[in-house]
Amino acid sequence: MLIDTHCHLDMKAFDGDREEVIKRAGDAGIKYIINVGSDREGNIRGLRMFREHPSIYSAAGIHPHNAKKLDYSLYRELKEWVREPKVIAVGEIGLDYHYLHSPKGVQVEAFRRQMALAKDAGLPVIVHSREAKNDTLRVLREEISDTTGVLHCFSGDIDMAKKAMELGFYISLAGTVTFRNAQEMREIAKFVPDEFLLIETDAPYLSPEPVRGRRNEPAFLKHTAEVIAGIRGITVADLARITMLNAMKLFKIEEIAEEGEIVYRIRDSLYLNITNKCTNRCGFCIKFRTNYVKGHNLRLEKDPAALQIIKAIGDPRDYGEIVFCGIGEPFLRLDVVKKVSRWIKQQGGKVRINTNGQGNLIHGRNILPELQGLVDSISVSLDAEDEEKYEKICRPSFKGAYRGVIEFIKEAKKFIPEVRITVVKIPEVDIDRCRAIAAELGVPLREREFNEVG
């Protein structure tokens, strides 16, 4: 299920078939629509719509084009509107220096006042920024409060995305990413980490390919979602889960499930999250930043039992492979790994283990012969070119852990059909030397992006 985080169903373009458009959105898997106000009349129509449709929420605000109309009386009305329970943001506000329908100074003033309004109301902001990068970032920095927001229909560069995310802002991508000449937008679509990504239509504007040129509507969000999912190497279901979670966090439309997942699907693999404990404390580990991987909550209250995991898997043949990989080290629970793997193999499934390679150090013996026949492939995090660097980056609890990891890789090759090593691409790591180590060990090396998990 998707959420269209930005559209303008209040506009005249929908007067002839608004109800059909809303129905088509539901039929196309759009669970929620956020209608974003841009002028007085549109805001009022937006309020009416959400009263009539459970799937519609509203943002109330005055678009920078209309900034010159934000007088005292309109501001007072806005203050009333943002108190409505289904108004979940202040927007669309911001700066547009392309058309300059309102003078720059007037736009900045309206932007600031509406940021202050959002702060008072405890709501996030939905920001429009066109050809106004520096002023937008300056106002956001100066007016920021506990509540953040989203840069909608993002049209800036990677530098702007980075600076906005540093302020806690989400980046929302629209149909422009599907346009044939939109190379820069596609780079942004790859660059933005999962935890900052939202998607939208901005309907009735900016219809995506292959419906470009027609009036846009929320049902067309699927085209944008397909392109972004393809760029990020995930499925539309993965993208839907990621962006729905982000929208729930930002706009607080629904409660977010607190309970961690024991098994979670990404693409056609099923991942097993069997512990959050680890013998390393890697500086780049995602668990120090978030509980979520691709929209799945992995923070466990307690480690699950083997039978619980088996029950949660269902039929292992439904997946390309079953991967032991959570936000902890699976070999801390070797008995569970062996029991569950044996069952998966008996059912005709394929098993992979993602590990930090410290299984032999943890158990004080060579555990690899015990895994023979139970595990098809093993992926070991090397993460550094030498002991000193490993100590610094991974902060292991074992002394001499790096040498232990290298030994583990050598042993794994004797008992496991497929062994590979991984390295997270961070500036401190000498990737060329890691490549040389992989070649010496005779195993393939996979380089992982810093923000790429799952």
Residue 287 beta carbon to ligand SF4: minimum distance, rounded to whole angstroms: 6
Give the residue with the Cβ less far from ligand SF4, 136 or 356: 356
The reply to whether omega before 396 is within 30° of 0 (cis) is: no
d(CA 428, CA 151): 31
Q: Tell me how many degrees the CA angle 275-242-9 measures, rounded to the nearest 5.
A: 155
- Identity of the residue, 244 or 367, whose beta carbon is nearer to ligand SF4 in the bound complex: 367
330: left (phi over 0), alpha (psi -120 to 50) or beta: alpha
**Considering beta carbons, is residue 78 or 300 the nearer one to ligand SF4?**
300
Those residues whose C-beta lies under 8 Å from the C-beta of residue 297, and which sit 6 or more positions away, are: 256, 257, 258, 259, 260, 261, 291
Closest approach, Cβ 453 to ligand SF4, in A, equals 9
2-7: strand order across its sheet: 2-7, 30-36, 56-60, 87-96, 125-130, 149-151, 170-173, 197-199
Q: Least CB distance from residue 142 to ligand SF4, whole Å?
A: 37
The answer to whether the peptide bond before residue 41 is cis (omega within 30 degrees of 0) is no
Min dist CB 376 to ligand SF4, Å, is: 21
- For binding to ligand SF4 (CB under 6 A), which residues are involved? 278, 280-282, 285, 287, 327-329, 356, 381, 394
Crossing angle of the two packed helices 334-346 and 306-313, in degrees rounded to 10: 30
Least Å distance, CB 431 to ligand SF4, is 17
Cβ proximity to ligand SF4: between 36 and 424 the closer is 424
Residue 211 or 285 with smaller CB distance to ligand SF4: 285
The count of other CB atoms within 10 Å of the CB of residue 117 is 20
Task: Compute the least distance from the CB of residue 56 to ligand SF4, in Å.
Answer: 40
Residues in CB range of 19: below 8 A, 6 or more apart = none
| C-beta of 240 vs 378, nearer to ligand SF4 | 378
